[in-house]
């Protein structure tokens, strides 16, 4: 993957938490690194295959002038998000400098930076209360409505018996491949919001529920936090997760077990048959 660099793009506009900053324009300087595959443009010399960096610079300028934020951090993150949504880039690293920040000390610059990168994420969805298919359709619709998320693949809807010995009603399960630059915690928060919209209640662990959305894989990352375990704990022992995953990502290699999904599924089925 190749990169395009935009350096020292100067925009005169208003951002800041003080009243005078909201009405008196000051300079902001943007440095932007775009991860973009321009191999075809490089080999063909055809403008149709390139990224118009002049247009990107104009978009940054317009966004910075048309919006007003208290925090330079917000300006940086929102601008980077705009670029990710508007242009076919795989990653953006953006630095915003504020050389005239109202600080009564000698300094040259204050700056913040952020890096956003698209990754392929695999989700497992399930429902066993109410109109199960309609609830899952709603969840997929809400996923697609987030401008930071692209839906890549959706598996078949499969009915399965309840798992874990607590839930009593059969589930419909499926797997979804999405592409997003949201962080694991931000993605989890959005998924919890969708569950809440579907009237998910968390009274009984592994109990009956209108909607359950789990992050099975987040790229090739291994994550252990209070909020998240990725790859999802015990997924390799759950055929209702592996079967739909195998349908859309049979050759994906688990970063924890270093095995393909289809091999993990075959192992699980073999274990169940013995």
- Alpha carbon distance 251, 254 (integer Å): 9
Residue 37 DSSP class:
-
Residue 122 DSSP class:
E
Q: Are 25 and 79 in contact (CB under 8 A)?
A: no
Q: Is 65 a catalytic residue?
A: no
Residue 95: strand pairing partners: 31, 113
Mapped onto helix, strand or coil, the DSSP state of residue 38 is coil
Residue 195: strand pairing partners: none
Q: Which long-range contacts (CB under 8 A, 24 or more apart) does 184-187 make?
A: 184/215, 184/218, 184/221, 184/223, 184/228, 184/230, 185/227, 185/228, 187/121, 187/215, 187/218
Contacting residues for 118 by C-beta, under 8 A, at least 6 apart: 84, 90, 91, 179, 180, 181
Which position among 65, 97, 98, 226 bears the catalytic label?
98
- Alpha carbon distance 51, 67 (integer Å): 25
Provide the annotated active-site residues: 98
């Amino acid at each position: 993957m190749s990169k395009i660099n935009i350096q020292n793009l100067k925009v005169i506009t208003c951002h800041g938490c003080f009243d005078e900053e909201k009405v008196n324009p000051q300079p902001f300087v943007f440095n932007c690194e775009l991860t973009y595959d321009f191999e075809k443009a490089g080999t063909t010399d055809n403008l149709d295959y390139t990224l118009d960096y002049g247009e990107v610079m104009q978009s940054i300028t317009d966004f910075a002038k048309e919006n007003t934020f208290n925090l330079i951090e917000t300006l940086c993150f929102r601008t980077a998000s705009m670029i990710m949504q508007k242009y076919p880039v795989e990653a953006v690293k953006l630095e915003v400098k504020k050389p005239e920040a109202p600080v009564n000390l000698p300094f040259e610059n204050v700056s913040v930076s952020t890096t956003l990168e698209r990754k392929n994420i695999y989700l497992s969805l399930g429902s066993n209360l109410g109109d199960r298919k309609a609830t899952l359709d709603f969840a997929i619709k809400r996923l697609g409505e987030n401008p930071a998320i692209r839906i890549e693949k959706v598996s078949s809807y499969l009915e399965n018996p309840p798992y874990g010995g607590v839930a009593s009603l059969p589930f419909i399960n499926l797997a979804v491949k999405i592409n997003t630059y949201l962080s694991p915690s931000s993605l989890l928060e959005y998924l919890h919001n969708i569950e809440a919209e579907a009237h998910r209640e968390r009274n009984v662990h592994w109990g009956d529920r209108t909607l359950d959305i789990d992050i099975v894989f987040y790229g090739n990352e291994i994550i252990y936090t209070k909020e998240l375990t990725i790859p999802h704990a015990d997924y390799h022992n759950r055929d209702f997760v592996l079967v739909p995953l195998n349908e859309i990502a049979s050759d994906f290699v688990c970063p924890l077990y270093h095995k393909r999904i289809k091999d993990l599924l075959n192992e699980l089925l073999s274990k169940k048959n013995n």
